[in-house]
Structure 1
């Protein structure tokens, strides 16, 4: 995968935001998630298929929807793991690049899962649910601003601990890729539960029954 963060619009501002988040600033973390969501869902990224193209690619497979989502998750676990290993080579110098890149890709994956499940990304409830998934909420059972703020606080508090494994030369490369892949897996599974298998009530009324995924199913 040819993905260069330096070619992504707003990446410099995003790096500043992740720097603030690494210092414990929840407002910076919130800003980063908003940037990542808007960029992942609305902007064409160099070297990557758009969210709609990604959803269509996996919606067109022969397996069940759940299995197709699992294939998408596994693919992105590999992609994010490769980026994590590459950016870990520079230890703390490239850590912000790693964090911004992986966050963007993870939200791209989760957004595609939402589209495959029948939701429009323009819906505010969908945006909140995706951000909760990206923040590490394994089960999104309730969607509200208060829940998001709590998730932001927890994620910000955990962020500083992410750096320690990557301070060790060599070992950091291995840990970086494995850790990022594992986190991506968790986010993908959370999105699968939220948008495919265990949809919270707040999302039920916002489902787009005419979405591309369902149209493909009916063809």
Structure 2
């Protein structure tokens, strides 16, 4: 599944598709990411590795050579103009990510410093979010000049015996919670019945992504929207 919106992009793939890209995904990972993977179960490590690969691949598709630079992202500035955010690498050279291994993903937790927090894309004009549940992995990015926060959540239909309406509400609130950097569920894929968390949805655009057999919501907060309290 691939989805494109107004300054936002998403892609989804089943976990078993990792078999086709495992070597490339691992090669593109940083030493910190690899250290984290080594401490996870095989199933969880596959979800994380595929999520990072989808995220990196999506960034290259949007910003890389031949992308056409949707929305002007990563475009070469005219002479004398200030280069856009993301056009300058850590080494100070103007460049675009040419391949997945060029994309740095920083997911250090703001509380403990370990590599399990919200994914960030340092030096790029993009926000990011990753979700995985029920054998599906989803990665999403959004242009920071258009949006101030992005979050995505996916759940298999019938999770915890919930009807689609309740489960859709759950994914909406979970996506917003992830965009705000706050966890709603203690363990991915587990829903505490239908006790939906109280997350304000005003000022958010909620996109229901087409993922057969699952309910997936992408939450985007507009730059002009007031910050949630």
The two structures share one fold, judged by TM-score above 0.5: no
Return the structure number with greater helix share: 1
Structure with more relative contact order (C-alpha pairs < 8 Å, separation 6 or more): 1
Return the structure number with greater strand share: 2
TM-score by length of 2: 0.29
**Which of the pair has more CA radius of gyration?**
2
TM-score by length of 1: 0.30
